[in-house]
Structure 1
């Protein structure tokens, strides 16, 4: 992908028309972003005067030939240098990999970001590789029901349609019957995913895409929507299609053709950093948990009437120690939490009978607070602010080191913790 059609910004940054830093951002791109924003109730960014301001959603927006990549950022470096962008792109790619949003088995944590110019290219290549693997394995056949005119009665005769269609040609029978072939919903979805990529992939993937499209040249193309994915029920025979169908779903449902009057088709792949940070912390704590501990994610339980309560992470030991963690992807300077956060954590402590809870933030240069004690009816419930580093040696920190640090912040029993 050429830098000419590639813009990288950080979360909460503004992108304006006429900005010398972004000469490729044109009015047609702004119009497309505005229409997409209206369609999604301003969920992913805010439209400002002659531009947009991004929020906590990161990822990629591709409009026609222009790619806008929104990166996370948790440091005090405001240089917006290429080195900084590369570093945080690597952080995002690795977080997505750990959270299973990217499944690249042969790519390590350290070199994942070096292979791709854009996050979208990761998904494009993953999809093409999955479809190619299915073709090499051999596309499966399935039964499907069809209605057609036949010279011999086959399956079930459809009386009313037969009268309408064969009033002159009495030799035909209009029947509904089964066919066992490769043209079924799974392959219609794969084809639609390839068609979406046809106008989006860069030159180095174009040849591979064309080779795969040739394999589906005689398949009927249908409009795929969310309801089609609801019909899919993978069995033992079709289970290898799982990854390809998941990526196809992401591509197809996030693709918006012809938002403008021109050919500026739009593909969005956006992630809420608050949710991504929450899931990332859960996965590394679960993977590197000490012996005798269990880690649970978003345990939802009844709270009041039809309302529920759901902490991010609950850690429980065999000796009934309980810890609650609530993750926050934002930079805070003060070591004094807000009243609302304190009340929320106290509710978690009380409801889950946890002695300790922690609000966990990405670390820039802050230090943890001490455990503060709640004054409530003699109960010794404690809460603190914890800060954990995201980076180490200019890339995402080792998940094991991060997990061990978080456990130590909760003062997990060192006899059980394996460092």
Structure 2
């Protein structure tokens, strides 16, 4: 990647444009327009720039890539490589994106953003399919023929061949590679053609040549929902998963300008919540039951939904995750009221508010004085890094269980 067209920022950081800098006014305009189309949820426009919020990931605007990284430390110059790898690890664990083949080494070696690693992986997967041989399928084709072939379509034949009586407008079966799976892959390649400006360009052009005879069709989310993957096309699974991400997150030529956008953005609050659940689920013992986002009726049509509910033998515990930095060692009034309701509704013995750790220490369990039930709540802090590396998830899980004792 050309580092002149690559910017790394952290959540809640500000980025301002300038005429002489990498981030310019036309990039800003495209981002604001995109944000408006999504209820202004991704970031906040400020004077001459953008203030990022809790959404992290990658935004590619034309040739410029902006990578927004999570950050849970007090450093004025945080380690971007470390937090990039933390984000990548969370996405792997949460199965948000198929990045099993993207390693920390690859990202460092080529100075890639996570998005570039995706592009590389997508092209590699397509290359594997081509070398194995692209599958063919039967499909119906309607066209003018100089001889009767298949079924004659009378109404269309009259409409199209009233002058040229020597032709027949027929519907017949064709056995070739111009089917929906390849049209999806081709659409993904065409999007990358508008975005890739680096050393992947030659590989992209070579693969585009293999697909240039296939139809270019408009593809939407509903088309992926109807797609059936089976044993015959199983080897296409990873390629189609990545193509889906590329196609559904692409915003071509917004009306404010000519810039094309591709975005992969994730809410860190949601990601942290799911990450904690998945590592608990992975490392739990047979006597522990872990459930995620339990929803139950609360009042009229409103529902109550804690993040994580643990059942250990006969005891119930509720964990509510919070991806933010707090200095206070006491829960806020609103958090206490929320956890109190969880205690009552789920008959939980203890509730835990779980935050990322900087230099805080866990609070002691405090008791709710309601009918002398003895339900308790505390603040817990989990350090996901150690010595510049990501901590083992099994160790994290053991620490969470220790916090509930």
TM bucket by the smaller chain? over 0.9
What is the match of residue 126 of structure 1? 121
Unaligned runs of 5+ in 2: none
Contact 1:89 1:113 in 2 (8 A): no
Question: How many residues get paired?
Answer: 404
The TM-score normalised by the length of structure 2 is 0.93
Following superposition, the deviation at residue 213 of structure 1 comes to 1.4
What is the match of residue 349 of structure 1? 343
Contact 2:29 2:256 in 1 (8 A): no
Deviates more, 1:144-153 or 1:195-204: 144-153
1-structure distance, mates of 2:220, 2:286: 45
Tell me whether 1:235 sits opposite 2:235 in the alignment.
Answer: no
Following superposition, the deviation at residue 104 of structure 1 comes to 4.1
1-structure distance, mates of 2:152, 2:300: 55
> Which one of 21, 24, 38 corresponds to residue 23 of structure 1?
21
Following superposition, the deviation at residue 347 of structure 1 comes to 2.0
2-structure distance, mates of 1:394, 1:315: 31
Following superposition, the deviation at residue 286 of structure 1 comes to 1.1
1-structure distance, mates of 2:285, 2:73: 30
What is the match of residue 142 of structure 2? 147
What is the match of residue 72 of structure 2? 74
What is the match of residue 255 of structure 1? 250
Following superposition, the deviation at residue 366 of structure 1 comes to 0.8
Contact 2:63 2:196 in 1 (8 A): no
1-structure distance, mates of 2:32, 2:102: 36
**CA 1:261–1:293 in structure 2 vs 1: closer, same or farther (change >3 Å)?**
closer
What is the match of residue 34 of structure 1? 32
SS of residue in 1 equivalent to 2:195 = coil
What is the match of residue 10 of structure 1? 10
1-structure distance, mates of 2:34, 2:162: 50
| Equivalent runs, 1:261-280 vs 2, <5 Å | 263-280=258-275
2-structure distance, mates of 1:47, 1:90: 28
Measured against aligned partners, the alpha-carbon deviations of 1:110-164 in whole angstroms (never above 9, x if no partner) come to 6465344211112112211222222223222223233222345555443322221
Following superposition, the deviation at residue 261 of structure 1 comes to 6.7
2-structure distance, mates of 1:303, 1:136: 56
The TM-score normalised by the length of structure 1 is 0.90
2-structure distance, mates of 1:107, 1:248: 16
SS of residue in 2 equivalent to 1:237 = coil
Contact 1:298 1:312 in 2 (8 A): yes
Following superposition, the deviation at residue 312 of structure 1 comes to 1.2
2-structure distance, mates of 1:233, 1:302: 35
1-structure distance, mates of 2:404, 2:369: 20
What is the match of residue 188 of structure 2? 193
1-structure distance, mates of 2:134, 2:93: 30
Contact 1:316 1:322 in 2 (8 A): yes
What is the match of residue 385 of structure 2? 391
| Equivalent runs, 1:81-120 vs 2, <5 Å | 84-105=79-100, 111=105, 113-115=107-109, 116-120=111-115
What is the match of residue 311 of structure 2? 316
Contact 2:161 2:168 in 1 (8 A): yes
Following superposition, the deviation at residue 211 of structure 1 comes to 2.2
| Equivalent runs, 1:282-301 vs 2, <5 Å | 282-301=277-296
1-structure distance, mates of 2:277, 2:375: 23
Deviates more, 1:283-292 or 1:51-60: 283-292
1-structure distance, mates of 2:350, 2:124: 46
Following superposition, the deviation at residue 388 of structure 1 comes to 0.3
1-structure distance, mates of 2:125, 2:334: 46
Tell me whether 1:222 sits opposite 2:217 in the alignment.
Answer: yes
Contact 1:93 1:113 in 2 (8 A): no
Following superposition, the deviation at residue 203 of structure 1 comes to 2.7
Following superposition, the deviation at residue 262 of structure 1 comes to 5.8
Contact 1:37 1:47 in 2 (8 A): no
**CA 1:309–1:208 in structure 2 vs 1: closer, same or farther (change >3 Å)?**
same
**CA 1:99–1:409 in structure 2 vs 1: closer, same or farther (change >3 Å)?**
same
Contact 1:295 1:315 in 2 (8 A): yes
**CA 1:8–1:149 in structure 2 vs 1: closer, same or farther (change >3 Å)?**
same
2-structure distance, mates of 1:215, 1:221: 13
